[in-house]
Structure 1
Amino acid sequence: MKNITSIERYFVSGAAGFIGFYLSKKLLDQGYTVIGLDNLNDYYDVKLKEARLEQLKPYENFTFTQGDISDKELMMSTFAEYKPNIVVNLAAQAGVRYSIENPDVYIESNIIGFYNILEACRHHPVDHLVYASSSSVYGANKKVPFEETDFVDNPVSLYAATKKSNELMAHTYSHLYKIPATGLRFFTVYGPMGRPDMAYFGFANKYFNGEPIKIFNNGDFENDLYRDFTYIDDIVEGIERLLSNPPKGEVEHKVFNIGNNNPEKLMVFIETLEKCLSNALHKEVAFEKIFEPIKPGDVPATYASTEQLQQAVGFQPKTSIEEGLQKFADWYVDYYRLID
């Protein structure tokens, strides 16, 4: 077992996940100690999670445990042994549509698992708990941009309901036990080594498998779906700025949107991805498209107001979809060895 010598000790659950990997790497590069945990489940390609982990393992200040946040005994023993100063809970069962097919895993990971994290923070006090919420809590809200003060009691998926529950649970624990806690409502995070269940990654997979892509907007280009696509580096910068800024006040709990504040039409995003893959492959890429009705649980638009985050830590995303998708396309072509 590696020695823990760094003053700041970060516990990152979901360390082999998309955001967890990038955040862990950034902290490790700065010399901090990271205690990573991930259950390496097969919701998507485990090889990709293992590839992320391989980049973290050489760091002397990285310790990894394969385990699940729903294992309360493991959570308690991990906190007792490593005594983290700051906890970042990014372990959760993700995906809106998957929650309709497999509700059990969402309750186990997102409700029971998060409860265990809160209990561990209660019994082994920490300087700050930062946890993943989601833009999905806004449900079918028509008013845009979404603001943290908006009414969010009408979730349209079980996934969204579990994330709203996390915010309520964190608020309660913060109130009762003085745990400084910050929830982050993420808006459509994308980039290299991203999640294969996300649309942009799935579109690339479909193209290279010779399959059409499905677009759930009824082919209505005037009223196309809007998404606040946020590049991974911007997300990590926003999280990093918040880590050392726990909320103050009577109840030390705060929720922030963390998004791009610049929504794009889904079709514009798809056309940009086609161009970026064309650049990476040095040949023209055009997806075959099938248009279908919007799916249950999906929302027509996600658009983050990031004013509160800007005021708190000066966060301002700066990566355009052209730049971000080109980095994804270059990585994708290289990772899957699509050019000799």
Structure 2
Amino acid sequence: MTVLTVAEHCGGRLCDVSREAQTAGRELAEATGDPVHTAVVGDDAEQVAEGLARDGVDTIHTVPGGDGFNHDVYVQTLSQLAASVDARAVLVPHTATGLDYAPALAVRLDWPVVTDAVALHAADGLAVTRELDGASTTLAVDGGRAVVTLRPGEWPPEDGTGETDVVPFAADVDDEAVRSTMTGHEALTDPDLAEADVVVAVGRGIGAEAHLDAIFDLADAVGGTVAAASPPVKRGWVSAERLVGHSGVTVAPDVYLAIGISGAAQHLAGMRESDTVVAVNSDPTAPIFDVADYGVVADLFDIVPELIAEFHPDDG
């Protein structure tokens, strides 16, 4: 049996979640004693495969599959590859793309699908841990095989280099069963946000859209990217592509600066893997302080100008 991870890419660019999936696959394989395989689907698969990790990965399969993502092609090719390598688990990034095809792939394989996994276990058969609203649940997988989507940011990206076999896989695609065509794509999340080293996030405490200029000035001063909790997004002050949380993007920056964010569980799910969390909130009981490494109980309208002046003294 094998553990099969699926790489995600767009426009010839490999997404970091692909290497995170490789890490998850390697850890699961170490527990089961299985080899780890990685699949790259698409006509640019060979180019994309060059960016994948090699250490701990036994085989990388390049699978021709058209120009860009196609649901029907992914389901057909990955089901055939999973059967060919006798996969016990197919690990897919928990992204808009992964969630598009993972359930259909599970149906095709007649396996269960488990979404938004934060941990994998194999001591007593395959089990998957999910987390929601601060509570975790571990689910045993009937039959020991499953398609699993992995929450981004929960595993560090695998970055080892080395020698790994790159093997083309010739899938038998039924063109008549391909009933969809990709005409283009639009990013719903900011790619710069997902990979940012410094994130400046704003919440309900900002009070009004007009106050966001200071947040963007602060992000510019510290070399960061602006993000938001749910309230500013729902009010239309910040675009949805900047939403961090269970319903948005997951980030794991070196520094996460939370400005006026209370710390609802939905939001914490998207940033808890940040290396250092700095919170500014006028409410000393705000849940964000429970996860913060450093906390400042103060009015953000007093603190933000001081921070900008600290990093850009000429502008202060």
Rg: which structure is higher?
2
> Structure 1 length as normaliser, TM-score?
0.35
Structure number with the higher helix fraction is 1
Structure with the largest fraction of strand: 2
- What TM-score does the superposition give when structure 2 sets the normalisation length? 0.37
